[in-house]
Amino acid sequence: MAAIMVGIGYMAASMGGYKDVSDLARLKEPALVTVKGVIADYRADPDKDSVVFLLQGEDGSTITAEFSYQRFVNMHGRAPGPWILGQEIVVKGVFYPERQGNMLGYMDISEMLKGCHESYQAPPATS
């Protein structure tokens, strides 16, 4: 029974785990996915409430991923700028495959996530 529980738990966690942008190459139909990638470029348009990221996977393949500009500002406390370049992020949303060379397709981001691993590198401060 213990082995079955570990098996089910591992499978459940695996299904919820994060794939790399490059793993999206296997998708042929639109799908809800959660992937991690590095921000290689971005284009922000506050008037259209849009920020489009160029996310790069481990093998160099890329996707464009669009998020709400206002939500980005609310979450990060500042507008997207060069400071986001090179950052690894995890995004959840519907991916629409449309392969053109290294470009795998477009993603409509519903949630933008970030782990807290790097935060613990900073020293303690207090208010």
Partner 1 sequence: MEASRRLAPYAVALLLLIDAALLYLVDVRGPFPAQVMLGTPTAYRNLYIHVPIAIAGYATFTVALIFALLYLVRGEARYERTAHAAIVVGVIYGAATLVTGSIWAHESWGSAWNWDPRETGIFFMWIAYLVYFVLRSSIKDPDVAPRISMSYAVAAYSTIPLSFALPYVMESLHPVISETKAFVGGGLPAVLFPVRMLIVNVIAILMIFMVRDRVTGAGTRVLRAGSAALLFIGLLLVGLYVATLMGARGGLQLTPGATAKFVGTVSEARLLEGTNESATLLLKVYTDGRAVEVRYTGEPPVKPVTFVYRDKETGTAEVRTSLVSHVVLVEGVVGENGIVEAERLEVLNYWGVPVNILMYALFVASAVYLATRPASRAA
Interface residues with partner 1 (CB under 8 A)?
1-3, 5-6, 8-10, 12-18, 34, 36, 46, 70, 73, 75-79, 87, 90, 92, 111-127
**Least Å from the CB of residue 46 to partner 1:** 8
**Least Å from the CB of residue 79 to partner 1:** 7
| 22, 59 Cβ separation under 8 angstroms | yes
Of 26, 84, 88, nearest to 56 (Cα)?
Answer: 88
Nearer to partner 1, 98 or 111 (CB): 111
**Least Å from the CB of residue 94 to partner 1:** 15
Nearer to partner 1, 1 or 101 (CB): 1
Nearer to partner 1, 29 or 120 (CB): 120
**Least Å from the CB of residue 3 to partner 1:** 7
Query: What tokens does 11 get?
Result: 């499978």
Nearer to partner 1, 28 or 120 (CB): 120
CA angle 124, 78, 20 (to 5 degrees): 80
Of 114, 35, 121, nearest to 76 (Cα)?
Answer: 114
Tell me how crowded residue 91 is: count the other CB atoms within 10 A of its CB: 26
| 107, 63 Cβ separation under 8 angstroms | yes
